[in-house]
């Protein structure tokens, strides 16, 4: 009897967890609109195995093979607020909404590489990997928001892996991460194939698992060129079991530097993920340096800067206070890790009146 009650409780709890995630399911789709002279344009490159005609949810669909590449100009409205993605309603308006100003399909990876090299003054490219429950539209707009809020000038490439874009697709997404490793490593190899070329990896949530698995795969096959040309790694709210992360890091060997993990102890999405994966704490919830001791990893705790946006699952880029503090730290550090301790708990800072 007790066993049956425990089973029923566990099943009900799982349904509640899925319902909780469903409540924050992204349903919006990127839309085009006439340009607005006061808007700013953020240029992003996209590498994805998704069909370019499918910018929304893909839960239950067969995974396609092969990669597609394109360039998108995302219009940021003059009314944009730091940390926000101003999604359009039924009628998109570039004066108030994020909209797609232009897109240009690229024939293959070689054409994308030529376009990236033409767009950059130096040899560095930022590569962003989105997380669980993301559509192509989500990834594009988030990448544009990060570029705008952090004044990023280097070219950026969004790697949009085959997330179902549906809260019911947690297991589907974890399989999609493994499915995408080869394509991601091949893209990194292309972006770092010329002398002096380097990439900085920025990953969120389950996208962090893709980054770690891909670096592990490169290390195991002896591809030291890729590993030596990574100028830094930031994992934001990583949805990885800490024990698994240690095994991945040990297989990779010396990690690219700087290597930063951004956490928030109030991340409710990761709390649910931990429940789904066996009540194990996720890496993005660690509250001290012990879980990454000896790995040459720096942990930055953003808990105090959380404002409840997105269930505190993307605090470093969605909280205006976090964006302000992080920008100041990056500027002070000269875009290196010297301003970050091995384990830092950030605190709110007063906003100076102008």
Left, alpha or beta for 131 (phi > 0: left; psi -120 to 50: alpha)? beta
CA angle 18, 24, 27 (to 5 degrees): 110
* Exposure class string for 143-180: b at 16+ Cβ within 10 A, else e: bbbbbbbbebebbbbbbbbbbbbbbebbebbbebbebb
**Cis before 258? omega within 30:** yes
69: which strand partners? 47, 106
pLDDT value at residue 337 = 57
pLDDT value at residue 278 = 79
pLDDT value at residue 58 = 53
Q: What is the mean pLDDT of residues 306-320?
A: 94
DSSP one-letter code for 353: P
pTM above 0.75, yes or no: yes
Gap between the Cα atoms of 341 and 261, Å rounded: 12
CATH code where residue 223 lies: 3.40.50.1820
Q: Among the ranges 45-59, 117-131, 200-214, which has the highest mean pLDDT value?
A: 200-214
pLDDT at 350 over 90: no
Q: What is the mean pLDDT of residues 83-96?
A: 96
Q: Give the residue carrying structure tokens 């239950």.
A: 60
Gap between the Cα atoms of 167 and 103, Å rounded: 28
**Cβ atoms of 144 and 98 closer than 8 Å:** yes
pLDDT tens for each residue of 256-296: 999 999 999 999 999 999 988 877 789 999 988 888 999 99
> Among 16-25, 130-139, 185-194, 197-206, which is the least confidently predicted range?
16-25
pLDDT value at residue 19 = 46
Task: Compare 21 and 318 and report the one with higher pLDDT.
Answer: 318
Structure tokens at 305: 């800067």
Confidence category of residue 244, pLDDT binned at 50, 70, 90? very high
Q: What is the mean pLDDT of residues 138-154?
A: 97
Residue 145 forms part of a structural domain: yes
Residue 40 forms part of a structural domain: yes
Residue 282 forms part of a structural domain: yes
CA angle 302, 41, 76 (to 5 degrees): 55
Q: What is the mean pLDDT of residues 104-130?
A: 95
- State CA 40 to chain mean position distance: 22
Residue 352 forms part of a structural domain: no
| Residue span of the structural domain in which 57 resides | 30-345
Residue 19 forms part of a structural domain: no
Taking residue 187's Cβ as centre, other Cβ atoms within 10 Å add up to 22
Residue 147 forms part of a structural domain: yes
> Among 51-65, 71-85, 152-166, which is the least confidently predicted range?
51-65
pLDDT at 179 over 70: yes
- State CA 182 to chain mean position distance: 18
Q: What is the mean pLDDT of residues 334-348?
A: 73
Gap between the Cα atoms of 13 and 338, Å rounded: 43
Gap between the Cα atoms of 282 and 273, Å rounded: 8
Gap between the Cα atoms of 80 and 271, Å rounded: 30
Average pLDDT, the chain: 88
pLDDT value at residue 51 = 84
Confidence category of residue 12, pLDDT binned at 50, 70, 90? very low
Gap between the Cα atoms of 176 and 301, Å rounded: 28
Could you tell me what percent of the chain has a pLDDT over 90?
72
Q: What is the mean pLDDT of residues 103-114?
A: 97
pLDDT tens for each residue of 188-205: 999 999 999 999 999 999
Residue 81 forms part of a structural domain: yes
> Among 53-57, 74-78, 114-118, 303-307, which is the least confidently predicted range?
53-57
pLDDT at 328 over 80: yes
Gap between the Cα atoms of 187 and 137, Å rounded: 20
pLDDT value at residue 14 = 46
Q: What is the mean pLDDT of residues 88-108?
A: 96
Angstrom distances, CA of residue 44 to CA of 97, 154, 347: 17, 10, 32
Q: What is the mean pLDDT of residues 133-146?
A: 96
pLDDT at 329 over 70: yes
Q: How far apart are the first and last CA of the chain?
A: 66
Confidence category of residue 338, pLDDT binned at 50, 70, 90? low
Q: What is the mean pLDDT of residues 133-156?
A: 96
Task: Compare 128 and 291 and report the one with higher pLDDT.
Answer: 128
Confidence category of residue 7, pLDDT binned at 50, 70, 90? very low
Gap between the Cα atoms of 100 and 56, Å rounded: 15
The count of domains in the chain is 1
Residue 201 forms part of a structural domain: yes
For the chain, how big is the Rg over CA atoms in Å?
Answer: 20
Could you tell me what percent of the chain has a pLDDT over 70?
86
Gap between the Cα atoms of 185 and 274, Å rounded: 28
- DSSP labels, 255-310: PPSSEEEEE-TT-HHHHHHHHHTTSPPPGGG--SSGGGTTS--EEEE-GGG--SGG
């Amino acid at each position: 009897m007790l066993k049956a009650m425990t089973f029923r409780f566990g099943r009900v709890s799982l349904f509640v967890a899925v319902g909780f995630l469903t409540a924050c399911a992204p349903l919006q789709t990127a839309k085009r609109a006439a340009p607005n002279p006061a808007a700013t344009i953020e240029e992003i490159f996209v590498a994805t195995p998704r069909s370019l005609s499918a910018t929304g949810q893909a839960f239950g669909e067969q995974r396609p093979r092969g990669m597609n590449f394109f360039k998108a100009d995302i219009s940021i409205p003059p009314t944009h607020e730091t940390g926000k993605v101003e999604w359009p309603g039924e009628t998109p308006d570039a004066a108030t909404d994020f909209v797609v100003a232009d897109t240009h399909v690229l024939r293959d990876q070689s054409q994308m590489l030529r376009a990236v090299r033409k767009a950059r003054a130096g040899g560095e490219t930022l590569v962003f990997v989105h997380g669980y429950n993301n559509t192509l539209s989500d990834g594009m707009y988030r990448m544009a928001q990060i570029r705008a809020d952090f004044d990023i000038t280097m070219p950026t490439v969004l790697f949009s892996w085959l997330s179902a874009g549906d809260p019911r697709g947690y297991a589907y997404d974890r399989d999609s991460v493994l499915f995408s490793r080869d394509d991601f490593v091949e893209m990194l190899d292309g972006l770092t194939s010329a002398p002096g070329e380097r990439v900085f990896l920025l990953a969120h949530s389950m996208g962090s698992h893709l980054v770690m698995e891909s670096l592990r795969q490169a290390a195991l096959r002896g591809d030291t060129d890729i590993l030596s040309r990574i100028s830094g790694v930031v994992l934001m709210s990583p949805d990885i079991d800490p024990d698994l992360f240690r095994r991945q890091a040990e297989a990779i060997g010396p990690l690219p530097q700087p290597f930063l993990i951004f956490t928030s102890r109030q991340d409710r999405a990761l709390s649910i993920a931990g429940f789904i994966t066996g009540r194990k704490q996720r890496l993005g919830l660690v509250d001290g340096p012990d879980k990454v001791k000896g790995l040459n990893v720096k942990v930055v705790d953003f808990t105090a800067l959380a404002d409840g946006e997105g269930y505190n699952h993307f605090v470093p880029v969605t909280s205006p206070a976090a964006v302000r503090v992080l920008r100041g730290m990056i500027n002070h550090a000269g875009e290196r890790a010297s301003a970050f301790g091995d384990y830092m708990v950030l605190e709110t800072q007063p906003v100076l009146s102008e």
